[in-house]
Amino acid sequence: MADLRFNGIGMTSARTRDRLVQRLREQGICSLAVLDRIRNVPRHIFVDEALGSRAYEDTALPIGFGQTISQPYIVARMSEALLEGGPLESVLEVGTGCGYQTAVLAPLVGRIYTIERIGALLERARERLKELGIRNVKFQHGDGAAGWKSQAPFGGILVAAAPLALPEALLKQLEVGGRMIVPVGQEGRQELMRFTRREQGIARESLGRVAFVPLLGGKG
Strand partners, 138: 113
Delineate the domains of the chain, giving CATH numbers in brackets.
Answer: 63-210 (3.40.50.150)
> Does residue 70 carry a catalytic annotation?
yes
Greater model confidence, 220 or 185: 185
Residue 12 has a CB neighbour count (10 Å cut-off) of: 20
Nearest Cα to 186, choosing from 155, 219, 209?
A: 209
Banded pLDDT at 70 (limits 50, 70, 90): very high
What is the rounded CA–CA span in Å between residue 43 and residue 72?
Answer: 9
User: What is the structure's pLDDT at 88?
Assistant: 97
**pLDDT at position 9:** 52
Considering only CA atoms, which of 87, 129, 68, 122 is closest in space to residue 104? Answer: 129
Q: Does position 125 have pLDDT exceeding 70, yes or no?
A: yes
d(CA 7, CA 44): 9
Q: Is the pLDDT of residue 15 over 50?
A: yes
- Of 31, 53, 70, 79, the active-site residue reads 70
Residues 6+ positions from 48 with CB-CB distance below 8 Å: 63, 64
Instruction: Answer yes or no: are the C-beta atoms of 136 and 103 closer than 8 Å.
Output: no
DSSP 71: P
Which of 116, 125, 100 minimizes the C-alpha distance to 220? 116
Residue 187: the pLDDT is 86
Q: How far apart are CA 107 and CA 102, in angstroms?
A: 9
Show Cβ contacts of residue 7 under 8 Å, excluding neighbours closer than 6 positions.
13, 14, 42
What pLDDT, on the 0 to 100 scale, is given for residue 4? Answer: 46
Kindly provide the b/e burial profile for residues 57-85, where b requires at least 16 CB atoms within 10 angstroms of the residue's own CB.
beebbebeeebbbbbbbbbbbbbbbbbee
In this structure, are residues 131 and 114 in contact, taking their beta carbons and an 8 Å threshold? no
**0.95 exceeded by pTM:** no
- Left, alpha or beta for 89 (phi > 0: left; psi -120 to 50: alpha)? alpha
